[in-house]
């Protein structure tokens, strides 16, 4: 196994050559931690790590950093999503360091959706950084042990850094080049947007392999179940970057509505089996909004259980400045 950067379970599974599985929780709007833990526990045995969104879609929810800390207390490994929409560089560096102190080892760096997409469009956006600048900042904290102003840290954080990519959004030819920029900025793993168009993913991965991106970062393809033809039509109309081919919607619509969810599960499992055969794909990221049981069923039906279990030390350590990724 190559030298570990952060030593998280997700990193170790990927570096050991296993096909990784991540998913995500959408915490309920509550200050009661027991409900949050219930949602995460339903997924924990089926995943190598669980993403914790950061006010996804620009909708207000409980702090992702707080939820990550709650999961770590339960022995559940989070992927902290951190966006640039609501924080300037001072707050972002503080949250990165604070997350590391709480035990966060996996961080997904995102630009974030604009506030106009969310439930409080009167809010003010920040966007001091974009995802690439955030990746560079996290890498500087980790590898150089300093803040952007040059002030040296007493101990550097340990981060396995991630970025998002969407192979299905135009301009399609630019997407592999955009991914290369994120990897050069510091991304160690990639989580993609929902894949419903496998031929386009194959074209994207061919271009990524030409650039040898699959050798420089671990690529996880986004998948998820469609509940009905109606919800699929809504997703491709209202969710930016989601492309659902017409033949999939017709396949769902050909069935009675009561059978469409089960068919949506079958389609998701079929896509998982197809993407597993694509050279350079190292895992999946399954998204099933507030449907943790459904996500677990899909993972099981795809033959991805049981997950490899790797013994790691409690996620509260640091690494010395100057330590380099393996």
pLDDT, tens only, 76-113: 999 999 999 999 999 999 999 999 999 999 999 999 99
Q: What is the pTM of this model?
A: 0.94
- Positive/negative CA dihedral, 143, 320, 16, 67: negative
Domain definitions of the chain by residue range: 10-301
Pairing of strands 106-110, 78-83: parallel
Asked if 165 and 237 count as a contact pair (C-beta separation under 8 A), the reply is no
pLDDT tens per residue across span 120-155:
999 999 999 999 999 999 999 999 999 999 999 999
Q: CA 96 to CA 133: how far, in whole Å?
A: 13
pLDDT at 314: 46
Q: Looking at the domain covering 10-301, what would its CATH class be?
A: alpha beta
CA distance 30 to 67: 11
CA distance 161 to 152: 21
Long-range contacts of 138-143 (CB under 8 A, 24+ apart): 138/96, 138/107, 138/109, 138/186, 139/185, 139/186, 141/93, 141/96, 141/97, 142/5, 142/319, 142/323, 143/321, 143/322, 143/323, 143/324, 143/325
The residue ranges of DSSP E strands in 243-326, in sequence order, are 281-286
Q: With beta carbons less than 8 A apart as the criterion, state whether 47 and 284 touch.
A: no
pLDDT confidence tier of residue 324, bands split at 50, 70 and 90: very low
Q: What is the mean pLDDT of the chain?
A: 93
DSSP reduced 3-state for 24: strand
The strand pair at 281-286 and 106-110 is best described as: unpaired
Do the Cβ atoms of 52 and 78 come closer than 8 Å?
yes
Q: Quick one: pLDDT at residue 311?
A: 63
């Amino acid at each position: 196994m190559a030298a570990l950067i952060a030593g998280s379970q997700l990193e170790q599974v990927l570096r050991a050559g296993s096909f990784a599985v991540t998913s995500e929780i959408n915490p309920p709007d509550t200050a009661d931690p027991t409900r949050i833990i219930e949602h995460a526990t339903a997924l924990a045995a089926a995943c190598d790590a669980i993403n914790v969104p950061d006010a996804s879609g620009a909708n207000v929810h409980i702090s992702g950093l707080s939820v990550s800390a709650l999961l770590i207390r339960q022995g559940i490994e989070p992927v902290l999503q951190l966006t640039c929409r609501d924080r300037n560089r001072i707050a972002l560096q503080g949250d990165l360091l604070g997350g590391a102190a709480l035990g966060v080892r996996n961080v997904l760096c995102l630009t974030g959706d604009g506030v106009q997409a969310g439930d409080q469009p009167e809010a003010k956006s920040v966007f001091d950084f974009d995802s690439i600048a955030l990746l560079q900042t996290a890498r500087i904290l980790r590898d150089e042990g300093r803040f952007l102003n040059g002030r040296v840290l007493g101990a550097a954080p340990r981060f396995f850094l991630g970025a998002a990519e969407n192979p299905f959004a135009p301009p399609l030819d630019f997407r592999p080049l955009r991914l290369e920029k994120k990897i050069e900025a510091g991304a160690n793993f990639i989580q993609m947007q929902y894949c419903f168009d496998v031929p386009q993913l194959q074209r994207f991965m061919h271009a990524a392999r030409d650039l040898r991106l699959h050798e420089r970062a671990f690529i996880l393809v986004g998948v998820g179940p469609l509940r009905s033809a109606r919800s699929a039509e809504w997703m491709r109309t209202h969710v930016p970057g989601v492309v659902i081919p017409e033949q999939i919607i017709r396949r769902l619509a050909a069935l009675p509505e009561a059978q469409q969810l089960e068919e949506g599960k079958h389609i998701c499992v079929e896509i998982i089996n197809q993407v597993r055969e694509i050279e350079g794909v190292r895992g999946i990221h399954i998204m099933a909004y507030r449907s943790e049981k459904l996500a677990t069923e899909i993972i099981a039906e795809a033959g991805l259980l049981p997950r490899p279990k790797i013994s790691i030390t409690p996620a509260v350590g640091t690494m010395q400045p100057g330590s380099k990724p393996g």
